[in-house]
Amino acid sequence: MRKSLQIILSIVLLFTQSCDFAEIATVRKVSFVSNGTYLLPLAYGDIKMQTVFDVSGLSDINFIADSEGYYKANKIIEEFKMEDTLSFNNDVIETLSHFQLRIETENRIPLELKLELIFYDSLVNTKLGSPIDIFLVAPPKMNEQGKAIASTNNVEIIELNAEQIEAYQQASFIFYKIDFSLPQTNSDKIMLHPSDFLTINIGTIVKLNKPQNEE
């Protein structure tokens, strides 16, 4: 009986020593190392002026188009700003070593749109890193009568390198400002046509952090 036990123990010992099982049994955490850079489309669409009319209810009221189908609007408000503060969860950004947001637009709607983002640390109320300031939608080419005569293609890229990401990781909230404005034209009117449009493609390129081994 004792010899049988010795034999069985010998087998188990030889097997476990040879197969790294003892070391594998100590594992408490699993991590993956890769150089992955991933491209992912986030959103797309095309907004037609006709849709804006329909959704806003302008189609239902007595809003008369001219012989070419243009609707005439007064420049009541030439610029409109929207700003607010959002709390910022930095869990996602912590996993990134590189981030790029690509916003491609083709615009024929008489409108331009700018975006500004500022990252803040709420504890010491200081700005972190440099603000992000981009032209989200560039204005179309306008003529003397206030009509959009050609669409404008615009590609904006927000690129954050490892240094910026590290700075933004300390952020607890984001201040954002969206600036809507009418394009520059000599006319005191803006002419809107139902076929005016805005197409958008938004995609992102992200590179994940390599895991740092804990001591």
Partner 1 sequence: MRKTYSIFLFIIFCIGFYNQVLSQEINLLYNLRNTPQANLLNPARINHNSKVTINLPFTSGFDFKLQNTFSISDFFSIENQTAIFNFENLQNSIGNDSYFSQTFGMPWVHVGVRFNENMVSFSITEQQLFRTSTNRQLIQLINEGNQAFVEEPFKTYFDLNLLHYREYAAGYTRQLLPELSVGGRVKLLTGIAAIDIKKLNIELHTGSNLEYLRFMVDGEYNLSLPININNISDIANIKPLAYFTNGSNIGTAIDLGASYRPIPELELSASIIDLGFIRWKTNATNITHSGSFTWRGLYINQFFEKPQIINNEEIPEMKPLEQLGDSLKEIFDFNVQEKPFSTGMPTKLFISGEYTLDETFSASLTNQLFIYNHQLTNALTLAGNLKLGNVWALSAGYSIIERSYNNLSLATSLKLGPFQFYAATSNILSMRITQTSNFSIRFGMNFMFGKIEN
Could you say which residues in the range 53-72 bind partner 1, by CB under 8 A? 54-55
Instruction: Give the x-and-dash track for 102-131 against partner 1 (CB under 8 A).
Output: x-x---------------------------
Contact 136, 116 (CB under 8 A): no
Token code pair at residue 42: 């986030």
Q: How far is the CB of 72 from partner 1 (least distance, A)?
A: 23
Q: How far is the CB of 100 from partner 1 (least distance, A)?
A: 9
Stretch of 74-82, 117-125, 127-135, 199-207 contacting partner 1, by CB under 8 A: 199-207
Contact 172, 122 (CB under 8 A): yes
Q: Which is nearer to partner 1, 27 or 123 (CB)?
A: 27
Q: How far is the CB of 2 from partner 1 (least distance, A)?
A: 12
Q: How far is the CB of 91 from partner 1 (least distance, A)?
A: 20
**Could you say whether residue 35 binds partner 1 (CB under 8 A)?**
yes
In angstroms, rounded to a whole number, what is the distance separating the alpha carbons of residues 148 and 193?
A: 8
**Could you say whether residue 92 binds partner 1 (CB under 8 A)?**
no
**Could you say whether residue 40 binds partner 1 (CB under 8 A)?**
yes
Sign of the dihedral defined by the CA atoms of residues 132, 82, 205, 98, in that order = positive
**Could you say whether residue 45 binds partner 1 (CB under 8 A)?**
yes
Q: How many residues does the chain have?
A: 215
Token code pair at residue 164: 């910026």
What does DSSP say about strands 173-181 and 79-87: parallel, antiparallel, or unpaired?
antiparallel
Residue 178: which H helix or E strand, with range?
strand 173-181
In angstroms, rounded to a whole number, what is the distance separating the alpha carbons of residues 82 and 116?
A: 11
Write down the residue that tokens 């804006």 correspond to.
52
Binding residues for partner 1, rule: CB under 8 A, are 3, 7, 10-11, 14-15, 18-20, 23-24, 26-47, 51-52, 54-55, 102, 104, 200-205, 207, 211, 213-215
